[in-house]
Amino acid sequence: MITTDFVPGSPCWLDLGSPDVPAAARFYSAVLGWEYESMDVGEDMEGGMFRKDGKIVGGLGKLTEEGARSAWMIYYSVADADATLQAVKRAGGTVRVPPMDLDEWGRMAQFSDPQGGQFAVWQPGTNKGVELVDEPGSLSWTELYTTDDAAAKEFYGGVFGWQYGDMAMPGGGGTYTLITPAGLPEERMQGGLMKLTAKDLALTGGRPYWHPIFAVADCDAAVAKVVENGGSVQMGPDDAEGVGRLAVCVDPSNADFVVLAPESS
């Protein structure tokens, strides 16, 4: 499970790059019950924070990278962003944004894995990350769709020291790999990765990508809100044994995410 102790290699932050910040704020407020708080982020910039019950659950900013698609970026906590950069290079990844300080809050960097999956890291200063996880309306899981699961496991294992456990998908649907931060027990699993063909990754033209899974109290109600507010559903809602009821969704700007109503224990 995801927590807010943010051990190295665990997800600690996420933000959305959107071409229309006000529209994105309205959409996620309707779907997940978030409140949007605009911030002064500099000249020619636009963005702010999402809150749930007063607690920060993520960020939102104007999409500025030419040719980039709207997407959620997931950040993983690290002790040293510069050391992580070297680990990424050794493992065959590339640097998208080199380590940079964000005032006293912390130090961030963005990378791509060898297959093209984009992710980010956060070296905490005064800000460790989001304030609410694993509750309705907050991040509860992270997931990588990749064209090469073996290469992905090798890369991220080298960068973060992640531990893996493979499980068979129901109905012969392949293998799903569960991810746990280094040195932690299995109950601290934080995400997974799954092999798909390039043609199944239409959102990115065949390039692997990470996406967030948000916990919700009612999956079908959340899906109805997605559709009512201009989004669409790629898959589901479906029941996953031992997991819960989930749906893969896309917001009006084509950023993907999953809503999951966890199975009652």
Q: What DSSP state is assigned to residue 154? A: H
Contact 139, 57 (CB under 8 A): yes
Mean pLDDT by 10 residues, the chain (265 residues): 94 96 97 92 75 97 84 97 97 96 94 97 95 97 96 97 89 84 94 92 90 97 98 92 92 96 82
What pLDDT, on the 0 to 100 scale, is given for residue 25? 97
Cα(233)–Cα(128) distance, integer angstroms: 32
Cα(68)–Cα(59) distance, integer angstroms: 18
Q: Is the peptide bond before 252 cis (omega within 30 degrees of 0)?
A: no
Domain chopping of the chain, boundaries: 1-265
What pLDDT, on the 0 to 100 scale, is given for residue 45? 65
Contact 113, 152 (CB under 8 A): yes
Give me 142's structure tokens.
């992270």
What pLDDT, on the 0 to 100 scale, is given for residue 39? 80
What pLDDT, on the 0 to 100 scale, is given for residue 42? 59
- Token pair 């109905």 is found at 171
Architecture per CATH, 1-265: Roll (3.10)
Contact 215, 247 (CB under 8 A): no
